[in-house]
Structure 1
Amino acid sequence: MKKLIKKSIIFPLLATMLIFSCKDLSELNENPNGVGPESVNPNLVMPTVLTEVAKSYVNLGYQDIAGVVQHTQKDAWSSGHNDYDWSNQSWNGYYDILRNNDLFYNRSVELNFEFHQGVSLVMKSFVFGLITDLWGDAPYTNALKGEAGAVGDILPAFDGQDKIYAGIIADLEKANTLLSKPKAEYEGIVDNVDVYYGGDPTKWRKMANSLLLRYYMRLSVKQPDIAKAGIEKIVGNAAQYPIITTNSEDATMGFPGNSDADAWPANAVFDASGSNYRRIKMCATLVEKLQTLKDPRLGIWANKVEVPLVVDATQPAGTDKIVDGKRILSPEKVKNTLYDTDPEYVGLPPSFSALPSAYNLNPTPGQTSFNPHASFLNNIYKAAKGPLLRARLISAAEVHFILAEAALKGWAAGVAKDHYEAGIKASMDTWTVGSSYTAYIATPGVVFDKTIKQVLEQKWIASWTAATEAWFDFRRTGFPELKAGPAAKREVLPVRFYYMQDELQINKANAESAVSKLEITSYSQADKGNSAWSKQWLIQGTAKPW
């Protein structure tokens, strides 16, 4: 229900009716099968908002942003994913969601549905948070007012990031209050239209306050006093500000898998060729970190290579044969080729070539590649649905890592070690390997070393399939210490999306003003202000991430 009303007038029909009908002309715009915005029940709009937000978020964190933070790489159609070859990135889909959410909120106010108002404010905060995190300054105060007709509403000014974050925090505070009553005291709750929490206001309240922690930490370098006070207030008032602490409270959404529109992205069910699944490979950066730490999550996320490579100096020149399921090669066969002989898991190096499908001596490079010498994602990611195939908006793992970082900054946020270990435990439980936690937490490199770097690296691992937050953490802190590959569009990772050309042309004065506030860096190059390598307010003056 992206658009609840469609108004269409066919001019020849209108002319005919003007001649032959004496009915009120306002009736021409009435759809007898539609529901008008003035009378729609909020429960009809709510599932559209929730599902569209969740799908948008998982499409970011499982697709191109997973490439940026080097969770995955693609071996075909790869330039955007691997190399950050971006341009003209549209935020229209996010504002479409916000328009529906605005209707959801307004009708909830009219009906005095306080639960729905709280949910709507949480979703508004989440989506505007994504917009400003991805692009920078953006229409906020005057956004969603186009129907009012004023020029300032149709062509809205861009608000600064500081103002947008302040508005997000205020809305989440309001949501915390609206969602503070027992369920029985609310009107209008229909459990099954709430695809996240089944109509549970307590869990929605915890999501609101957990998002407050996220956005306060986002401001921790630029506005440290505000961030510190906000996080300490939440941690110090658990009854007034309950937060997500267990996996059962995570904000997630499963997929029905009935059609491509409601299925896990890049599945091999509705994409019968399996090409989209086949192109996505684990990135060597993540694979090697997980192997170093003996992390059991690797086996949940990736398959072992079908045919390991063995380069054997004892073999005669020209050897290239399959023996016992392994490909045996003599040294001159590989020459200066980049290759990996790990017998179990092989990831694609980040942005290493314009032809990534050729990696590891793949015998079938090209768009239809099937590389037996690199790790495919686990077979669960071929499915249209499944218990682990969920959009994950915010989790107990993320909350614990936020609090661990806050504690290491010296803020009153609890014990850093306890939160660090709880974050790891929550992630391992999510991915069904919690039984390995005790051994894992004692592994060299995992044993708590009291550094923010280690906390952010574990948070990066835990953000698998929700990699967008890892990008924002990297941008803010420089951790994990990710390096761009040789084929990348720039020598460093990007820090924002491009404003789209439609906005620059149609809302020219306001868009150009926003671009002028971006900090041009030595990596902005020909894109100048509107570059993925120009710094938004949040990281200007911080020397982060580069």
Structure 2
Amino acid sequence: MKFIIPKSYLLIPAFLGMGACSKYLDVNITPNNPTSVTPAVLLPGAEAGSAFANANELNRFSSVLVQQLTGAANSPATYDIYQTNGADFGNQWAGELYDGALVNYQKLIELGDAVNAKAYSGIAKIMKAYTFSIATDVWGDVPYSQALQGEAFTTPRLDKQEDIYKGNSSLAIQSLFDLVREGIQDLDATSAVKPGNDDIIYKGDLTKWKQAGNTLLLKFATTISRKEPALATSVINEVLTGGTYIKANSSDMNFTFGASVGSQDPRYTYTYVSTFQNDLILSTRYLNLLKSLNDPRLPIFFTKPGTDYVTLDNGFRGTLPTPTANWSRYNKYVVGNSGEGPVRLVTNFERAFMLAEAAIRLGTPGDPQALYTEGITASMTLAGLTSDQITAYLNANPSVATLSGTPEQKIAQIITQKYIAFTGNGLEIWNDYRRTGYPTLQLSQNAAGIDGTLPVRAVYINNEIQRNPNFPNPAPQSNVRVWWDVD
């Protein structure tokens, strides 16, 4: 795999903005490939690559599947009726993940070690683990331990998802948990060079990077908690005992884009600038959910150009509402005033909801009700509500505010609120839906795809199947669960 090393993070949107939707953009071709670079040059582009991977085509795919958005045309319309195949996501696999962010993190680790810039190595290891989690959560078994090695492994093996999460010493596979732990250790090491404004996420604040790394351990533990409850419990207790994790919105791991054309959040570009802007519309089902909960975040998350929201049911095949200018779309909370975003990668509200779920499911420390309330409060605060407004909402809506019923019913409440809080991040919502079954979703109208079922994985890329004999052929289809998905 070759390096894609942009001159700055602002160039990445120009390469990746349309993703797989148009099928015409080859993100593997770049004129920006110098023979040597500094860590400060590599870091912002790598971070932008991870944000793009989260927010671009994979976000459109997953946000439609979990019915926050409805696909009205082009690729989103096919996702909406569960049709996906190996022709989808080639740009995401290569340009945004393996030949994009991941190879830049690998280069950054090598450079950091070579020039005694361990602060950069630590950040790169944390973000490499995060970005590999995107790949394995979407596709299952993927190239991991032999990936990013250049000529040493031009056709890397696919490591089992179980080994990617848990490690396998006999195959020299380091777990995602240990990769993050190693990154956190690097942040404590002496570093001759440290990041500043070239670190778009935290501006060189290494304490916040340690908090983010430990919260990422909570995320990985939560992901596998139903498959490996003992390991998940051990990791969560480790993080809680250490006490260094995200505890405030100000410590959220967010990537903020620029506000000029060519440097914007891909969700903004797609929704408001591109020729594909009428491919997506607010789902009627999501509108109905938030209305049923009297949720004050609804007008903050989505636009309401007229007297009411203009939506479409998932899988609808008929005449689209007109004029398209009145469609309800992502609002500024998701995409920013002019496309800044941010892309919310790991957040305080997520941490609270994860710990609330774990306290019920695994018996880890913490009061589930207090953590659940903390998660709702953190999300509503991010959305701009005052503490008085939040308190008034919770007092007026006790069925939302209070966990009740069986442990499983309480978990359903927690995941539903996490689903709402993560509006704009379809990947995290799809992960939760697959591993828990919450929130309960009815099949789209005109459901097709494999057996008419909602996809639980993406199909391997055709080009990779043809290029690399280690890929299974025929490949598992979209109805085959990934390892950690036990529902």
Per the shorter chain, which TM-score range?
0.7 to 0.9
Q: Equivalent residue for 1:165?
A: 165
Give the drift of 1:203.
0.5
Deviations 1:404-435 (A, max 9, x none): 00011142231111111111111111111244
Give the drift of 1:400.
0.5
Q: Equivalent residue for 1:505?
A: 466
One-letter code aligned to 1:345:
Y
The reply to whether residue 303 of structure 1 matches residue 264 of structure 2 is no
Counterparts of 1:30-109 in structure 2, within 5 Å, are 35-37=34-36, 40-60=37-57, 62-77=59-74, 78-88=76-86, 89-90=89-90, 91-93=93-95, 94-96=97-99, 97-109=101-113
Q: Equivalent residue for 2:422?
A: 463
Give the drift of 1:384.
6.6
Distance 2:232 2:333 in 1: 39
Structure 1 contact 267–384 (Cα < 8 Å) conserved: no
Distance 1:438 1:214 in 2: 28
Give the counterpart of 2:403 among 449, 469, 472: 449
Deviations 1:295-319 (A, max 9, x none): 1110112233626xxxxxxxxxxxx
Q: Equivalent residue for 2:317?
A: 354
SS of 1:191's equivalent in the other structure is coil
Give the counterpart of 1:123 among 105, 122, 127: 127
Distance 2:205 2:111 in 1: 20
Distance 1:283 1:57 in 2: 20
Give the counterpart of 2:183 among 163, 169, 175: 175
Structure 2 contact 116–191 (Cα < 8 Å) conserved: no
Higher relative contact order (CA 8 A, sep 6+): 2
One-letter code aligned to 1:487:
N
Give the drift of 1:136.
0.5
Distance 1:269 1:138 in 2: 31
Distance 1:303 1:270 in 2: 12
The TM-score, its normalising length taken from structure 1, stands at: 0.75
Q: Once superposed, which parts of structure 1, at least 4 consecutive aligned residues long, lie more than 4 Å away?
A: 379-384
Distance 2:458 2:270 in 1: 29
Distance 1:34 1:470 in 2: 35
Deviations 1:101-129 (A, max 9, x none): 11111010011211111101011101111
Distance 1:511 1:52 in 2: 25
One-letter code aligned to 2:251:
E
Structure 1 contact 282–302 (Cα < 8 Å) conserved: yes
Moved more, 377-386 or 104-113: 377-386
Distance 1:457-1:197 versus aligned 2 partners, 3 A rule: same
Count of aligned pairs between the two proteins: 438
Distance 1:247 1:395 in 2: 7
SS of 2:372's equivalent in the other structure is helix
Structure 2 contact 459–475 (Cα < 8 Å) conserved: no
Structure 2 contact 56–266 (Cα < 8 Å) conserved: no
Question: Unaligned stretches of 5+ in structure 1?
Answer: 6-32, 308-343, 516-527
Give the drift of 1:195.
0.2
Q: Equivalent residue for 1:405?
A: 357
Distance 2:437 2:77 in 1: 23
Structure 1 contact 456–479 (Cα < 8 Å) conserved: yes
SS of 1:538's equivalent in the other structure is coil
Q: Equivalent residue for 2:170?
A: none
Distance 1:169 1:54 in 2: 21
Output the aligned Cα RMSD: 2.6
Distance 1:393-1:427 versus aligned 2 partners, 3 A rule: same
One-letter code aligned to 2:236:
I
SS of 1:294's equivalent in the other structure is coil
Structure 1 contact 2–48 (Cα < 8 Å) conserved: no
SS of 2:210's equivalent in the other structure is helix
Moved more, 446-455 or 201-210: 446-455
Distance 1:86-1:261 versus aligned 2 partners, 3 A rule: farther
Moved more, 54-63 or 496-505: 54-63
Distance 1:84 1:127 in 2: 25
Distance 1:382-1:390 versus aligned 2 partners, 3 A rule: closer
Counterparts of 1:362-401 in structure 2, within 5 Å, are 362=321, 364=322, 370=324, 372=326, 375-378=328-331, 385=338, 389-401=341-353
Q: Equivalent residue for 2:227?
A: 222
Give the counterpart of 1:247 among 236, 246, 249: 249
Moved more, 446-455 or 124-133: 446-455
Q: Report percent identity of matched pairs.
A: 28
Structure 2 contact 271–280 (Cα < 8 Å) conserved: no
Distance 1:386-1:434 versus aligned 2 partners, 3 A rule: farther
Give the drift of 1:246.
0.7
Q: Equivalent residue for 1:439?
A: 392
Distance 1:121 1:214 in 2: 16
Give the drift of 1:277.
3.7
Deviations 1:56-85 (A, max 9, x none): 211156522111111111323242342232
Distance 1:371 1:4 in 2: 38
Distance 1:87 1:485 in 2: 18
Structure 1 contact 46–104 (Cα < 8 Å) conserved: yes
Q: Equivalent residue for 2:10?
A: none
Give the drift of 1:377.
4.0
The reply to whether residue 415 of structure 1 matches residue 367 of structure 2 is yes
The reply to whether residue 201 of structure 1 matches residue 225 of structure 2 is no
Deviations 1:89-108 (A, max 9, x none): 32112101211211111010
SS of 2:401's equivalent in the other structure is coil
One-letter code aligned to 1:254:
T
Distance 1:439 1:134 in 2: 39
SS of 1:281's equivalent in the other structure is strand
Distance 1:268-1:411 versus aligned 2 partners, 3 A rule: closer
Counterparts of 1:241-280 in structure 2, within 5 Å, are 242-267=244-269, 271=273, 276-280=276-280
The TM-score, its normalising length taken from structure 2, stands at: 0.84
Distance 1:266 1:305 in 2: 17
Structure 1 contact 137–159 (Cα < 8 Å) conserved: yes
Moved more, 121-130 or 434-443: 434-443
Question: Unaligned stretches of 5+ in structure 2?
Answer: 7-31, 167-174, 405-409
Q: Which has the larger radius of gyration?
A: 1
Deviations 1:127-161 (A, max 9, x none): 1111100000011111112323xxxx111111000
Moved more, 437-446 or 400-409: 437-446
Deviations 1:187-239 (A, max 9, x none): 2123110000000000111111111001111111111111111111211221x
